[in-house]
């Protein structure tokens, strides 16, 4: 059973790694589009509203898509003063409680509130509110659901990691997803 859980965890981690690495490239596109908008405005004294929408929308897509990857890497906000020096077992307990009491209910809340919002956007085939703006705002709003799915899945991977640590089966956890030792966390290796 633990081997099956470990396989699920590795699959979720792999999915978020791929999505995170692919959508991180949106940052390059954001810079290029923003640069083009500035050049167009200040050098050629003209502008295209759809390009202004584009770099803002790319920003939204990137940050919602890479949220699960950030959670995988531990790049999210937490109270490190207590968590970082804790033992792997204490971290596993904290993650188990945090995922079950906070992350999953929060993802459900966003889903419950966000789903009708996304459905309405699709029903209306919503576009930018700006005249001459980008078409397809409904696609951007769909990334709310992508965010929920990827973060909730990564939460499940964290839950599985906690179970494996508490079951003393650390060898089933990939190296890049293990809790760092206290020495590694404090930089005193």
DSSP 163-184: HHHHTT-GGGS-GGGSPPPHHH
Kindly report, residue by residue over 75-133, the tens digit of the pLDDT. 877 767 788 888 999 999 999 999 999 999 999 999 999 999 999 999 999 999 888 88
The pLDDT score that the predictor gives to residue 4 is 95
Q: Which residue shows structure tokens 């908008």?
A: 37
Q: 43: left (phi > 0), else alpha (psi -120 to 50), else beta?
A: alpha
For residues 35 and 74, the model is more confident at 35
Enter the tokens of residue 91: 């971290």
- CA 21 to CA 10: how far, in whole Å? 16
The pLDDT score that the predictor gives to residue 58 is 94
Q: Is the pLDDT of residue 143 over 80?
A: yes
Q: Is the pLDDT of residue 189 over 60?
A: no
Q: Is the pLDDT of residue 186 over 60?
A: no
Helix, strand, coil distribution of the chain in percent, nearest 5: 80, 0, 20
Give the global pTM.
Answer: 0.89
The pLDDT score that the predictor gives to residue 132 is 82
Q: How far apart are the first and last CA of the chain?
A: 35
Query: What's the pLDDT band for 182 if we cut at 50, 70, 90?
Result: low
Torsion angles phi and psi, residue 162, rounded to 5: -60, -45
Kindly report, residue by residue over 40-90, the tens digit of the pLDDT. 999 999 988 899 899 889 999 999 999 999 999 988 777 677 888 889 999
If you average pLDDT over residues 137-159, what whole number do you get?
97
């Amino acid at each position: 059973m633990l081997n099956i859980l470990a396989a699920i965890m590795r699959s979720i981690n792999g999915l978020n790694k791929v999505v995170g690495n692919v959508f991180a490239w949106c940052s390059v596109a954001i810079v290029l589009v923003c640069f083009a908008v500035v050049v167009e405005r200040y050098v050629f004294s003209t502008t295209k509203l759809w390009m202004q929408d584009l770099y803002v929308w790319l920003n939204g897509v990137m940050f919602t898509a890479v949220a699960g990857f950030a959670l995988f890497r531990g790049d999210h906000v937490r109270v490190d003063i207590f968590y970082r020096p804790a033992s792997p077992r204490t971290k596993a307990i904290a993650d188990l409680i945090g995922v079950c009491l906070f992350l999953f209910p929060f993802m459900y809340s966003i889903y419950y509130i966000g789903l009708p919002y996304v459905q309405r956007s699709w029903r209306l085939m919503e576009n930018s509110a700006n005249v001459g703006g980008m078409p397809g705002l409904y696609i951007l709003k769909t990334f709310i659901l992508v965010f929920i799915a990827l973060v909730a899945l990564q939460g499940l991977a964290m839950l599985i990691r906690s179970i494996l640590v508490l079951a003393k089966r650390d060898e089933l956890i990939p190296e890049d997803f293990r809790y760092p030792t206290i020495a590694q966390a404090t930089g005193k290796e």
